[in-house]
């Protein structure tokens, strides 16, 4: 399954084998005549070759092609030795050639869930230039373009050419997956091709792109708020007729009132009382 290796790791592994010996045998299976095919242990075998060893202990098994491939896949996958593209190609091989279903891959422990398998299979459909960018990044000491970056570049409705430019920008400026998503959103919202090119090529990921995305979100919120129907204000209750109790409440003394105002109020109360008492 694994096609590439880290030279520094191979050198370190070779030194370990030279000092302590081969602690875990490689696994092979017989093929035509007296030849054997390696099933698991590519890095160990590569390290042994650098030491100049002529012979090596190996465990010989005879499973069918699918089981052999799955065994190799499991060894590398759970040791986290496979790159994203190698994992994608392994899933594609098991499904296409050996008729595994996505569900069975999960059931056999070859994937965490069905979404993981489908996510990796998307890499097979990527343009060759994007796969090459991912491959080069994964061979480096610190990948600048990951499967997550490639996935986030799909969030906008961009052409393959525009996505490649965005990923080049991400590698150049060290953008995160979230920042790539914001760039694709800004490019998708650009009014013309010149503005798209300016966003991708000329402008670093800075406050400008961030502000464009924030302004777009703010406009959507304001529009939603404007379109929301206003609640009908509650109707005020009709005023009930005044009673003797209302008249009495008017006589409560307020120290801020003037004496004349107080006299006027008392006079009004007296008139109300006369009207009530009069037969």
Tens digit of pLDDT at every position of the chain (279 positions): 445 456 777 787 788 888 878 777 787 878 777 787 777 777 788 888 888 888 888 878 776 665 666 666 666 655 556 788 888 988 888 888 777 888 888 876 677 889 999 999 999 999 999 998 888 887 665 568 889 999 999 988 888 999 998 898 888 888 888 889 888 888 888 878 888 888 777 656 554 454 454 555 555 556 666 665 655 555 555 444 444 344 334 344 445 545 556 566 656 655 555 454 455
CATH architecture of 1-81: Alpha-Beta Complex (3.90)
| Confidence at residue 145, expressed as pLDDT on a 0 to 100 scale | 86
Answer positive or negative: Cα dihedral of 43, 44, 50, 54: negative
Burial (CB < 10 A; 0-12, 13-18, 19+), residue 117, is buried
Give the whole-angstrom CA distance, residue 217 versus residue 222.
Answer: 9
- Per the DSSP assignment, residues forming a β-bridge with 60 are 28
Q: What is the pLDDT of residue 203?
A: 55
pLDDT score recorded for residue 250:
39
Neighbouring C-alpha atoms within 13 Å toward the C-beta of 36: 14
The pLDDT, as a whole number, for residue 125 is 93
Cα-Cα-Cα-Cα torsion 122, 124, 128, 130, nearest 10 degrees, comes to 40
The answer to whether the beta carbons of residues 201 and 165 sit under 8 Å apart is yes
């Amino acid at each position: 399954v694994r096609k590439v290796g880290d030279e520094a790791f191979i050198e370190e592994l070779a030194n370990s084998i030279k000092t302590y010996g081969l602690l875990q045998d490689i696994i092979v299976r017989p093929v035509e005549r007296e030849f054997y095919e390696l099933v698991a242990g590519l890095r160990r075998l590569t390290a042994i070759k650098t030491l100049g060893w002529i012979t090596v202990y190996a465990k010989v098994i005879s499973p069918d092609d699918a089981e052999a491939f799955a065994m190799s896949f499991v060894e590398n996958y759970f040791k986290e030795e496979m790159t994203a593209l190698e994992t994608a190609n392994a899933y594609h091989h098991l499904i296409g050639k050996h008729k595994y279903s996505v569900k069975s891959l999960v059931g056999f422990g070859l994937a965490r869930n069905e979404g993981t398998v489908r996510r990796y299979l998307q890499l097979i459909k990527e343009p060759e230039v994007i796969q090459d960018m991912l491959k080069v990044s994964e061979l480096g000491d610190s990948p600048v373009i990951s499967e997550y970056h490639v996935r986030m570049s799909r969030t906008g409705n961009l052409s393959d050419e525009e996505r490649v430019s965005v990923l080049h920008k991400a590698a150049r400026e060290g953008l995160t997956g979230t920042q790539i998503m914001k760039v694709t959103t800004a490019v998708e919202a650009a009014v013309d091709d010149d503005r798209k090119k300016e966003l991708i090529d000329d402008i670093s990921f800075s406050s400008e792109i961030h502000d464009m995305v924030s302004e777009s979100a703010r406009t959507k919120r304001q529009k939603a708020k404007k379109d929301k129907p206003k609640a009908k204000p509650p109707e005020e209750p009709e005023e009930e007729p005044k009673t003797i109790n209302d008249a009495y409440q008017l006589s409560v003394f307020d120290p801020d009132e003037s004496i004349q105002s107080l006299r006027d109020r008392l006079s009004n109360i007296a008139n109300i009382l006369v009207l009530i008492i009069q037969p």
